[in-house]
């Protein structure tokens, strides 16, 4: 189909800087309305980011983000060296090439969800007020104002602070790494869920820990099994993801949270809760963090990441820990990193204090809820029919699947690469081969059409692997 003349955009109106909705989202929504109404037809070329920015009095970056917002929803497609074109309400022009490699192995949010305009305005104000002082060294434990804001929000969210203290890190991964370094000695026992976050498993290997695993069900691990394991071995630490577990999407029941926390507290075992998405509703109600659901657990360390709900590149996270543990972590951080970016901490502080986070979470919650429902439905239809088992979950940016019975994992994953689709191999989620017959697949960055095409490629790879001669299954 030959592209038509440049689309007429004289009716977009004025963008409101006073609204909480980012400018790029306002522009994207108005363009989307024009596309869905048919006033902008499939194949029409949108004006360049530079010309449209001059027309509307906004930056070219804002326009580019609006175009990205349209592409994420299958309403536009960009062609290198040519420009951005309308796809139409049903994606008349494909948002991706059918031959492109599809990454179902990336869990991070799409850039179209980043609150770029609000963050840019906050950055500009800080630089205008403080100049170069905005980049000066600060406290290794974190900016005091940010810690106060975080503590207030945690308290309002039902967290019992007691003598616990907030410590800021360059992402949750750094918090976990330094916690293991400070708390464990080689040979110490650690209990984890199965499957679990591959990044934590790598850290445990580096720390020389001995690892035991407990299976995760739809409502978390079996508390009886956890209590029996804690009684059988001298565990030093328990690592868990009670809200939107990675990769199953499971949320622990209230009873599971209470019993596991009580068992850890009674035996003096450090319970580390890794949280990235609690408070969001993916269609089953808002999940609460364990740390906001139980009281009296004196050995609980709550680790929070902003990567999934804000912007991964911020590299900010924090932990809420008993004061003795917090002091140990601050000393470890001083040895490893001196400090986390003071400038970004101040940006985050204002983003929270000025109410931007609440508005941002309400916006992305709507996006994720619809995306999750569609992703699960498509996976059940396409992969379920091919013999895969989709683990029941309540939300998150990815799904956990078991391969069809008898399908050789090594052959299947090799065929996935040949089919042009990337997945996370099941063996990444445990330190033995107990999860080798599973896979993690993520959908948070994908157009709906790309997700469905990726699922079809996975199903096709399974059929090819199943039909391969046994001698070639290596």
Separation CA 318–CA 308 (nearest Å) = 14
User: Do the beta carbons of residue 246 and residue 225 sit within 8 Å?
Assistant: no
Mean pLDDT on 357-363 = 90
113 inside domain? no
Q: Please indicate, yes or no, whether residues 157 and 257 belong to a single structural domain of this protein.
A: yes
Domain holding 175: CATH number? 3.40.640.10
**348 and 373 together in one domain:** no
Residue 210: the pLDDT is 97
DSSP element (H, E) containing 255: helix 254-267
Closest CA to 187 of 230, 234, 146, 228: 234
251 sits in the region (left: phi over 0; alpha: psi -120 to 50; else beta) called beta
pLDDT-derived band at 8, boundaries 50, 70, 90: low
> Which three-class secondary structure state does DSSP give residue 154?
helix
The 10 Å CB-count burial string (b at 16+, else e) for 76-111 is bbbeeeebbbbbbbebebebbeeeeebebbbbebbb
Mean pLDDT of the region 60-87? 78
Over 80: is that where the pLDDT of 463 sits?
Answer: yes
Quote the pLDDT of residue 3.
41
Asked whether 425 and 409 are in contact (CB, 8 A), the reply is: yes
Instruction: Decide: 213 and 430 in contact? Cβ < 8 Å.
Output: yes
Q: Average pLDDT, whole number, for the chain?
A: 87
Q: Highest mean pLDDT range out of 61-70, 76-85, 171-180?
A: 171-180
Q: Strand order of the sheet with strand 438-442?
A: 389-390, 398-402, 438-442, 424-425
**Residue at a domain's end among 357, 389, 404:** 357
Shared-domain flag, residues 273 and 385:
no
Is 109 part of a structural domain of the chain? no
Boundary-marking domain end, from 24, 58, 93? 93
In DSSP terms, which residues pair with 235 in a beta bridge?
189
In angstroms, the CA 67 to CA 56 distance is 14
Residue 305: strand, helix, or coil? strand
Q: Which residues of 362-400 are buried (b: 16+ CB within 10 A; e: fewer)?
A: ebbbebbbebbeebbebbeebbeebbbbbbebbbbbbbb
User: Which single residue is written with the structure tokens 């920015």?
Assistant: 53
Q: Are residues 323 and 372 in the same domain?
A: no
Q: Identify the pLDDT of residue 311.
A: 81
Identify the residue whose tokens are 């205008």. Answer: 128
Select the more confidently predicted residue: 161 or 459. 459
Residue 81 pLDDT > 70: no
Q: What is the mean pLDDT of residues 169-185?
A: 92
Residues in contact with 244: Cβ distance below 8 Å, sequence separation at least 6, in sequence order: 250, 251, 276, 277, 278, 280, 282, 287, 393, 394, 395, 396
Residues 123 and 261 in one domain: yes
Q: What is residue 332's predicted lDDT score, i.e. its pLDDT?
A: 87
Residue 267: pLDDT over 80: yes
| pLDDT over threshold 60, residue 313 | yes
Mean pLDDT value of segment 214-239? 97
Share of the chain above pLDDT 70, in %: 91
pLDDT band at 20 (very low <50, low <70, confident <90, very high): low
- Summarised one tens digit per residue, pLDDT across range 292-310 is 999 878 899 999 998 888 8
CATH value at residue 45: 1.10.10.10
Tokens of 96: 């991706």
Q: pLDDT grade, residue 457 (50/70/90)?
A: very high
Is residue 1 assigned to a domain? Answer: yes
Which of the two residues, 361 and 15, has the higher pLDDT score? Answer: 361
Who contacts 34 (Cβ-Cβ below 8 Å, separation ≥6)? 7, 9, 11, 12, 40
Segment 183-190 mean pLDDT: 96
State mean pLDDT over 445-453. Answer: 88
Residue 337 has pLDDT above 80, yes or no: no
CA distances from 377 to 392, 423, 455 (A): 12, 18, 11
CA distances from 364 to 8, 283, 288, 326 (A): 30, 13, 17, 31
153 and 260, same domain (yes or no): yes
For residue 210, the cross-strand partners are 189
Model confidence over 122-133: pLDDT tens digits?
989 998 888 877
Residue 336: inside a domain? yes
Q: What pLDDT score was predicted for residue 51? A: 87
Answer yes or no: is pLDDT of 439 > 70.
yes
Interval 71-84 mean pLDDT? 72
Q: Classify strands 270-275 and 300-305 as parallel, antiparallel or unpaired.
A: parallel
Tell me, yes or no, whether 28 and 134 share the same domain: no
Cα distances (Å, whole numbers) of residue 271 to 28, 174, 193, 407, 433:
44, 17, 12, 37, 25
d(CA 408, CA 466): 8
Which residue range(s) make up the domain with 387?
A: 364-472
In a domain, 108, yes or no: no
Pair 336, 228 in one domain: yes
Residues 137, 22 share a domain = no
- The CATH number covering residue 373 comes to 3.90.1150.10
Domain assignment present for 112: no
Task: Compare 54 and 314 and report the one with higher pLDDT.
Answer: 54
What total number of domains does the chain contain?
A: 3
Give me the percent of the chain exceeding a pLDDT of 90: 54
Range 251-260 burial, b when 16+ CB lie within 10 A, else e = bbeeebbbbb
User: Where residue 88 falls among pLDDT bands split at 50, 70, 90?
Assistant: low
The pLDDT tens digits of the residues spanning 190-225 come to 999 999 999 999 999 999 999 999 999 999 999 999
Residue 244 covered by a domain = yes
The whole-number pLDDT of residue 93 equals: 33
Mean pLDDT of 410-421: 92
Burial group, residue 464, by CB count within 10 angstroms (0-12, 13-18, 19+): middle
* Chain-centroid distance, C-alpha 314: 13
pLDDT score of 339 more than 80: no
Taking residues 227-245, report their average pLDDT.
Answer: 97
Of 306, 324, 357, the last residue of a domain is: 357
> In the prediction, which pLDDT does 471 show?
53
Tokens read off for 9: 């955009």
In this structure, the answer to whether residues 334 and 200 fall within a common structural domain is yes
Question: Does 407 map to a domain?
Answer: yes
Q: Give mean pLDDT, residues 70-98.
A: 62
Looking at 43-85, list the stretches that DSSP marks H as alpha helix, in order from N- to C-terminal side: 49-56, 60-72
Same domain, 444 and 332: no
Rounded Cα gap, residues 462 and 474, in angstroms: 15
How would you write 333-393 as a 3-class SS string?
A: HHHHCCCCCHHHHHHHHHHHHCCHHHHHHHHHHHHHHHHHHHHHHHHHHHCHHHCCEECCC
Looking at the structure, tell me whether residues 35 and 5 fall in a common domain.
yes
């Amino acid at each position: 189909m030959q592209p038509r003349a440049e689309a007429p955009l004289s009716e977009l109106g004025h963008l409101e800087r006073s609204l909480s909705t980012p400018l790029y989202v306002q522009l994207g929504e108005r363009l989307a309305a024009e596309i869905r109404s048919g006033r902008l037809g499939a194949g029409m070329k949108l004006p360049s980011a530079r010309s449209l920015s001059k027309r509307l009095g906004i930056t070219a970056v804002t326009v580019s983000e609006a175009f990205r917002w349209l592409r994420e929803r299958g309403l536009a497609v960009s062609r290198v060296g040519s420009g951005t074109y309308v796809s139409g309400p049903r994606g008349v022009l494909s948002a991706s090439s059918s031959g492109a490699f599809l990454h179902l192995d990336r869990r991070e949010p799409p850039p179209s969800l980043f609150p770029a305009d609000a963050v840019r305005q906050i950055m500009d104000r800080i630089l205008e007020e403080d100049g170069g002082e905005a980049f000066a060294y600060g406290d290794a434990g974190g900016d005091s104002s940010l810690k106060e804001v975080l503590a207030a929000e945690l308290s309002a969210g039902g967290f019992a602070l007691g003598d616990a203290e907030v410590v800021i890190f360059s992402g949750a991964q750094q918090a976990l790494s330094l916690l293991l370094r400070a708390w464990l000695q080689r040979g110490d026992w650690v209990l984890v869920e199965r499957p679990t976050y591959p990044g934590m498993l790598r850290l445990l290997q580096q720390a020389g820990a001995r690892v035991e695993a407990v299976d995760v069900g739809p409502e978390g691990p079996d508390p009886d099994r956890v209590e029996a394991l804690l009684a059988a071995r001298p565990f030093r630490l328990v690592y868990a993801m009670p809200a939107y577990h990675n990769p199953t999407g499971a949320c622990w029941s209230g009873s599971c949270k209470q019993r596991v926390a009580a068992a850890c507290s009674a035996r003096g075992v450090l319970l580390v809760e890794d949280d990235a998405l609690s408070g969001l509703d993916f269609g089953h109600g808002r999940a609460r963090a364990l740390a906001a659901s139980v009281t009296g657990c004196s050995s609980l360390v709550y680790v929070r990441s902003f990567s999934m709900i804000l912007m991964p590149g911020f590299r900010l996270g924090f932990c809420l820990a008993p004061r003795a543990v917090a002091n140990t972590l601050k000393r470890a951080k001083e040895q490893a990193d001196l400090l986390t970016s003071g400038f970004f901490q101040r940006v985050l502080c204002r983003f929270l204090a000025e109410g931007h986070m609440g508005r941002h979470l309400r916006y992305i919650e709507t996006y994720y809820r619809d995306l999750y429902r569609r992703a699960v439905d498509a996976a059940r239809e396409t992969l379920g029919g091919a013999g895969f088992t989709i683990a029941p979950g309540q939300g998150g940016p990815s799904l956990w699947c078991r391969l069809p019975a008898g399908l050789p994992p090594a052959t299947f994953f090799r065929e996935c690469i040949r089919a042009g689709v990337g997945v996370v191999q099941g063996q990444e989620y445990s330190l033995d081969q107990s999860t080798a017959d599973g896979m993690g697949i993520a959908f948070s960055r994908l157009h709906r059409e790309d997700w469905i095409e990726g699922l079809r490629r996975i199903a096709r790879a399974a059929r090819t692997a199943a039909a391969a001669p046994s001698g070639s299954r290596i």
